[in-house]
A and B are shown apart, each in its own frame.
Chain A
Amino acid sequence: MREIGILLNNLKKSLLQKSVLSKILPIVLTLPLYHFTTLPLLCQDLPGKAIFEQKCAQCHGVNGTPFQQDPNNPSEYLKHPDGTLKTDEKAAPAASLVFPRPRDFTRGAFKVRATPNGEIPFDGDLVHIIAVGMPGSSMPSWKEALTEHQIRDVVAYIKTFSDRFQSEKPSSPLVIGKPLKATESSLKKGREIFMELQCFQCHGMEGRADGPSAAGLNDDWGNPIPPANFHKGWNFRGGHHVENIYRTIMTGFNGTPMPSYADAFGDDKDKPWHLANYIHSLSADQPNTQEVLSARYTSDKLPDSPDGALWNKLDPVDFPLSGQIIQEPRHFTPSIDMISVRAAYNNEEVALLLEWDDPTRDVTAPADSVQIQIPMILKESEKPYFMEGDPRNPANLWRWDAKTDRLSNLRSTGMKSSKRALESQSLFSSSSTFSDGQWRLLVKRKRASEPLQGLSLEGSQFVPIAFSAWDGGKKEQDFRRSLSTWYYIFLEPPASKAPYAYALFAFFLVAGLERRLLKKSSKLEVPCLAGRRGSSKSKG
């Protein structure tokens, strides 16, 4: 029975996702929640306590804080030499391994709210965030695991961690209202407001979280916190719909350097919507993840730089990356979470355009680096181990670093094995650019290759491919990296006109047959039907 329930639930979900409603419904449904103000605070032993300790405490701490209080001064926290707070390993075991750090509830400061800047949230705000989670962080959505009733219990318990919930009351909620249509002129005005309010100081000129003050940002606790990258809508903490962005602009994120801009717009009710529309226009709702990276055939010369016109004709495929947490030393808080790749080929070469966001250009050691990995030998039923191969199936690594701005061609039998350098001078060429928080790297490799240098890349073949990336600015090198498991690169056969001919032929063939049938039936219509009726009657 339980499974049927899950099935029905999922069915409902998939129906919802398809419909336009899915965009409006979450907002419509959560708006009334904002109007609930405070639940009664009865006693310390609330029913939410058990749920909190079971589901939430591992990150947020048994006492509502992931950090260690100073035994001499309970209102202060213990700090590492670099100014970041020491996490409480016993009360919040996961806190030190996630980034950004989990929220400390003892100050009553919450990011995603409908209340004015600096105020405590409504209960509905907290219920909402527990239900949908904090995208881009390690806070998951709890709506599948907990009932609404349970979530409300947890909220009531969370509120006991800060006295502010007893001494303060939230004032009027933000009314979101109807979004302004995202016309060309609205987006243009939005960009002007973006410049005027200096959003680029943190979020960067192109919104890639690379502004001049981005690197030094700390939250109210003194822990580093990154600004949002406006291109990755799926990571927006408060949600990626334009209404969500509007709310963030108007109420700010308490406890973070993101202020409320409600006072910056004067009486102009449209201005925040222009800005929200502009930010929304930069962002994609979902990454374009695919199992296969298709390389398009061209008979022309492949571009020599990442700015070649060909690249605009191809859709990038996004490959999500995770921290390297498989072999020691493990890296739990990677900087680069995705790499976008386009591919093309001609008769001589294959070209890959790699793009990834990195707030700083680091050309001294440890330098920004990236690595493409394919098998050394192509086998039908086996691949090398996805982390730089194994002794039985070595991997071929094309490693680029910003310091030399060159590719090295390596043969590897594992993460810990020493790499053997293969010939690369005549086989590879590369060209890179860095601007506004984004690396763009063009890699070209000759298709034909000696067996000892790597695979010959033939058409219509699925070649396993995997990626690694390092952000030098975050001291990433060697094992401290982001990586993916295996995907495929496929050299698409040149586009053929034959399917059009087949389709046209089929169309006329069927149309011709129909014409004959029509002619025949117009002659036979009456007698045929009459005859049938007559025969069935006689049978009856």
Chain B
Amino acid sequence: MAGVLYWERGPSGPEMASQIFLLALLTVLLFFFARKKIWSAYFLLLVTLLGYSLYLWIKPPLPSSLVWMYSALTTLAAFLYVSVNEKELQNFKKGFQSAVTENHPARRILFLIFPFWVATAVFARTSKQIDPPLSLRIIHPEPPSQIEITPPPTGEAYSAPRGRSAGGGVKGKSMDLAALENPFRKLEKEDPQQFLESVLQGKHLYYKNCFFCHGDNLEGKGHFANAFNPLPANFQDVGTIAMLQESFVFWRVAKGGPGLPDSSHPWSSAMPQWENMLSEDEMWKVLLYIYNATGHAPRTWELASEKK
């Protein structure tokens, strides 16, 4: 899923211990609130407990900061609910008071756990490993207004070894990115047979060049994908080609990782500069295929103006 960081460090030993102690603390408190039948406060604690365990253990496939935010917000909302009037607030306070002052065996457990929680939390915090520098990269950077495409030295793709140096003699073709359209897309209406033929050619090119990383099912899980960080783009996801114009995707394919601006970390992207290996038409046909196979439609200017 887009947006989820690939590298997620699990909690360290002390962190895990402090989390368990905190959960135990909350559980004992729950017991006191239930015993006193202070249901609104009981509800608050339960929400906190749920939110916390969602964050720690269940780990839904969302960025952890988002889960953390949601949990904190629900806890806050629950707190507002329990403190809505004086009586409720007094009730709430009483629950804590009874936990601290009442001579009940559960209080002993509470008082035993508490120092352990504080100690483990302090240990976890002070012995914490330093995290690697955050690499905040812009995923869909602003494209340049013009690009210059240098065709590969020979017409046939994926044949003999060749590269940028070999193609140095060929003069580049300048393109205005804003006005750029897929020359094969109009065939969809004009000549459906020819269109499907182009899609099929695009599919062949995809399986000769792209599927190793972007995967058989176009979800970015090809058999080489796990060697790369950042991971290859997932075309099935609504956050990639579905929300982009075809000219933008063309730019990304033609110029690859090295063509990214610094804000998008061109040094880490394993996306090749495909203009060196595929002809212009071939790149457009691959785009036809990836949109066709995922069922997404490229975003267009018309659509943008309709929204206004």
Residue ranges of A at the interface with B (Cβ–Cβ < 8 Å): 3, 6-7, 10-11, 14-15, 18, 54-55, 58-59, 93-94, 97-98, 137-138, 140, 142, 144-145, 289-292, 294, 320-323, 325-329, 332, 380-386, 390, 393, 416, 460, 462, 483-488, 490, 492, 496, 498-500, 502-504, 506-511, 514, 517-518, 521-522, 524-525, 528-529, 532, 536
B84 within 8 A of A: no
B300 within 8 A of A: no
Q: Which residue of A lies closest to B133 (CB)?
A: A462
The contact of B100 among A58, A97, A517, by CB within 8 Å, is A517
- Chain B count of residues within 8 A CB distance of the other chain: 68
B94 within 8 A of A: yes
Q: Which residue of B lies closest to A97 (CB)?
A: B208
Judge whether B162 and A328 touch: CB under 8 Å: yes
Judge whether A503 and B111 touch: CB under 8 Å: no
Report the minimum CB–CB distance from A523 to chain B (whole Å): 11
Mark B223-236 against chain A: 1 for CB-CB distance below 8 A, else 0: 11011110000000
Judge whether A485 and B100 touch: CB under 8 Å: no
- Give Cα distance in the complex from A320 to B233, angstroms: 18
Judge whether A386 and B270 touch: CB under 8 Å: yes
User: A384-B267, A514-B114 known; A93 and B208 CB under 8 Å?
Assistant: yes
Judge whether B114 and A499 touch: CB under 8 Å: no
Judge whether A382 and B267 touch: CB under 8 Å: yes
The 6 closest A-B CB pairs, nearest first, are A322-B227, A322-B224, A499-B127, A329-B161, A503-B123, A507-B119
Tell me which residues across on chain B come within 8 A of A529, comparing CB atoms: 97-98, 101
B216 within 8 A of A: yes
Interface with A: B41-49, B56-64, B75-83, B140-148, which one?
Answer: B56-64
- Give Cα distance in the complex from A413 to B184, angstroms: 38
Report the minimum CB–CB distance from A294 to chain B (whole Å): 8
Judge whether B114 and A510 touch: CB under 8 Å: yes
Tell me which residues across on chain A come within 8 A of B97, comparing CB atoms: 528-529, 532
Report the minimum CB–CB distance from B243 to chain A (whole Å): 14
- Give Cα distance in the complex from A144 to B61, angstroms: 16
What 17 new A-B contacts, CB under 8 Å, besides A144-B219, A325-B272?
Answer: A10-B61, A58-B211, A93-B208, A291-B7, A383-B265, A393-B267, A416-B165, A486-B268, A499-B123, A502-B126, A507-B118, A508-B115, A524-B101, A525-B101, A525-B102, A532-B94, A532-B97
User: A18-B57, A416-B163, A517-B100 known; A321 and B115 CB under 8 Å?
Assistant: no
Tell me which residues across on chain A come within 8 A of B262, comparing CB atoms: 381-382
Judge whether A325 and B212 touch: CB under 8 Å: yes
Tell me which residues across on chain A come within 8 A of B103, comparing CB atoms: 522, 525
User: A58-B203, A486-B229 known; A15 and B101 CB under 8 Å?
Assistant: no
User: A55-B216, A327-B163 known; A15 and B227 CB under 8 Å?
Assistant: no
Tell me which residues across on chain A come within 8 A of B101, comparing CB atoms: 521, 524-525, 528-529
Mark B270-293 against chain A: 1 for CB-CB distance below 8 A, else 0: 101000110000000000000001
Cross-chain pairs A/B with CB under 8 angstroms, 19 sampled:
A7-B61, A10-B60, A15-B58, A18-B57, A58-B203, A140-B216, A140-B221, A290-B7, A292-B132, A322-B212, A323-B212, A325-B212, A460-B130, A486-B229, A503-B126, A506-B118, A510-B119, A521-B101, A528-B97
The contact of B217 among A11, A142, A498, A521, by CB within 8 Å, is A142
- Give Cα distance in the complex from A18 to B265, angstroms: 34
Tell me which residues across on chain A come within 8 A of B222, comparing CB atoms: 138
Q: Interface majority SS on A: helix, strand, loop or mixed?
A: mixed
The contact of A14 among B61, B90, B102, B114, by CB within 8 Å, is B61
Tell me which residues across on chain A come within 8 A of B216, comparing CB atoms: 55, 58-59, 138, 140
The contact of B224 among A94, A325, A462, by CB within 8 Å, is A325
User: A386-B270, A486-B268, A490-B132 known; A291 and B229 CB under 8 Å?
Assistant: yes
Judge whether A328 and B7 touch: CB under 8 Å: no
The contact of A326 among B100, B122, B219, B270, by CB within 8 Å, is B270
- Give Cα distance in the complex from A484 to B226, angstroms: 9
Report the minimum CB–CB distance from B20 to chain A (whole Å): 15
- Give Cα distance in the complex from A381 to B268, angstroms: 12
Judge whether B119 and A504 touch: CB under 8 Å: yes
Judge whether A94 and B211 touch: CB under 8 Å: yes
- Give Cα distance in the complex from A502 to B127, angstroms: 10
User: A10-B61, A320-B226, A529-B97 known; A499 and B212 CB under 8 Å?
Assistant: no
B35 within 8 A of A: no
Judge whether B165 and A321 touch: CB under 8 Å: no
- Give Cα distance in the complex from A260 to B286, angstroms: 44
Report the minimum CB–CB distance from B112 to chain A (whole Å): 9
Mark B149-190 against chain A: 1 for CB-CB distance below 8 A, else 0: 000000000000111110000000000000000000000000
- Give Cα distance in the complex from A381 to B133, angstroms: 10
Q: Which residue of B lies closest to A460 (CB)?
A: B130
B120 within 8 A of A: yes
